[in-house]
Amino acid sequence: MKKTLAKHNFAEYFNHYINLVEDDEVLNVLQNNNNDIHKLSGLLDETKGNYRYAKDKWSIKELLVHLIDTERIFCYRALCIARNEKNDLPSFDHEEYVKNSNANERTLVDIAKEFDAVRKATIALFENFTPKMLAASGSANGNRLTVLAIGYLIVGHAKHHLTVLQENYLK
């Protein structure tokens, strides 16, 4: 299913991220984004993994682990909604997750390996959603969204942070 089918089936809150994604099949955009992340990770130097472009900003490692954590949470939400969960799914405090991630004690190679495993699991999950499951709608943190919209949200969120990485960390 394409992004155009996800349009208007999610809260305005998610527009920024979803609008960053091309209108292609959800599995294609997940795989293409994975390829982009692999290319970018090849440009990262281990000695700069703890670099912050400002005092109150995340390090490169923290930013990458944030992508991993967020993708896992979005996949959990997609699974719950696909399985017809009626309860509003909880929010998460991304600042607390980053603070407690131990990201700066890890290597960039280790983080890239984990990202690859998570993205492969994401693709496998979305490969097995039926059209009915992709169209299923639920709520997370009081915001309506569909399973299909979550797939595009995962990619849009990653694209947003990769742009931040390129513009603020890799200049």
Q: What is the DSSP string of 9-63?
A: SS-GGGHHHHTTS-SSBHHHHHHHHHHHHHHHHTT--GGGTT--SSTTSPPHHHH
Q: 3-class DSSP state for residue 136?
A: coil
Q: Tell me: the pLDDT tens digits for 106-117?
A: 999 999 999 999
Cβ contact 9:101 at 8 Å: no
53-82 average pLDDT score: 98
CATH of the domain at 109: 1.20.120.450
Q: 3-class DSSP state for residue 156?
A: helix
Q: Tell me the C-alpha distance between 102 and 83, whole Å.
A: 32
Q: Tell me how many domains the chain contains.
A: 1
Domain residue limits at 8: 3-169
pLDDT value at residue 6: 56
Q: Tell me the C-alpha distance between 73 and 71, whole Å.
A: 5
Q: Tell me the C-alpha distance between 70 and 170, whole Å.
A: 22
Q: Tell me: the pLDDT tens digits for 136-165?
A: 999 999 999 999 999 999 999 999 999 999
Nearest to 34 by CA among 158, 166, 169, 164: 158
Nearest to 42 by CA among 121, 116, 152: 116
Q: Please determine, for residue 3, whether its predicted confidence score (pLDDT) is greater than 70.
A: no
Q: Please determine, for residue 129, whether its predicted confidence score (pLDDT) is greater than 90.
A: yes
